[in-house]
Structure 1
Amino acid sequence: MAAVESVLADLHATINERLSELAQVGEDRKHAARDAVAEALHALLLHLATSDCAEQERRTLDSALSEQALSLKGGLLKALKQCALHRAFLGLPLLMEQTRQLLAGAPAKGVASYLEDALCTDIDACEDPRALVSVQEVHQFFTGVGRLKKELHGVELPAAAKKSCRTCVNRAARAFAALEQKLRKQAAQTGPASKPKVYEMEKDFRVEEQKELEAQYNAREMGLDAMFDKAMQLKNDRAKDAMSRK
């Protein structure tokens, strides 16, 4: 865990360095400098999305990043184009709220391009059930699902942006269901085959081999169940949190 915290601190330091560089470069280099800031931010989000982090470390990071949200606007909105980064937002609620407010002020055409085009394309290629559930959770949060009006701080997404978010939620839900079906089908296809005709002298060996194949198949099935159960548990936990706030 300490190693994860050290990496996060280093990644955040890199973001600060890139922001400092952005503030100092001339207009002709602003675009490249903004891209460098976004790249540093995405590296941190990806690390957070794929690694466990101590609660206090995460809260400290969330507070710091949320205060920098306006400076990180471009990188935050671009992060929404990638499924793999969405889980990080769920662990950074203050930053997720700031991102929601930035999204509310973004041009409708840009929002549609980032979400309905780029993100939906990434959803179609995604094979991580946890990432697909995270996409649904983040974009439901953006639209205000499960939140009181007073919790939106006077900022709601425009109708066009809500439509884009709902499109992503529906696309991710379908992709999750299709992925689950695909993985279970693959597991079934690699499971025990129908018993071949065997001669008596081979029978004992084949029986043992069949038992081993069946055990492997059952293990794969249990693994798939655990993977999808974990993804759905993430969604259920978020729903319970939303209900508890009402």
Structure 2
Amino acid sequence: ALQELLEMTPDTATVRRDGTLQEVSARDVEEGEVVVVKPGGKIPVDGTVVDGESAVNQAPVTGESAPVHKADSDEVYAGTVNQEGALEIRTTGAGSDTTLERIIRRVEEAQEAQSPTESLIDRFAKYYTPAVIALAIGAYAVTQNAILSLTLLVIGCPGALVIGPPVSIVSAIGNAARSGVLMKGGEHLERAGKIDLVAFDKTGTLTKGETTVSGIEGFGVAAADVLSLAATAEKKS
């Protein structure tokens, strides 16, 4: 999932150097250099727009469903998509210093951070596991029955209990990242599990940012004919 996030950023960038446009590795772009991004291209660096205006799809970084209008002095992020016009961007961050890279590092750190449940299980296993081993040895010492001792060891071993929480949390964080949701750690996952009410504001958070036909109405013409004419007009669009 993190690799998919990394692939959102293009490997190369078109930079204006010595009065000419040169294609270089995106990681070699220096702060202050001007990068040119054509319509339809992905933005390779963080920066501010110095020339041109366009609509930029920022969903991979900010989660905003609708494209955001960008013009002079507006901030743009690596990994976002320039949709309409050409943009010239003055670089403020490239390579590992982009917003997207920092997000990825946060997700990696989140996977390593222990949740309250993991910490509790670790403390429990620290004492419980040696106790089970000592009990199994004690049982063998008393009964001289190796099968009984091994059975007690296998049944009493807290393997599934200890392994369960971290595996489930890492899986959940990875699965969420694959769906575009970035979790800051297991603690927040556990807190999310207790939520029973969510409030959303009215800025289009729940939309996909894509218009769809909800109904067709003809004025003096049948609706089916309107649809047929529209399809004819857009056939080669």
Larger radius of gyration: 2
Structure ranking higher in strand proportion: 2
Query: Would you say same fold, with TM above 0.5?
Result: no
Structure ranking higher in helix proportion: 1
TM-score (norm 2): 0.31
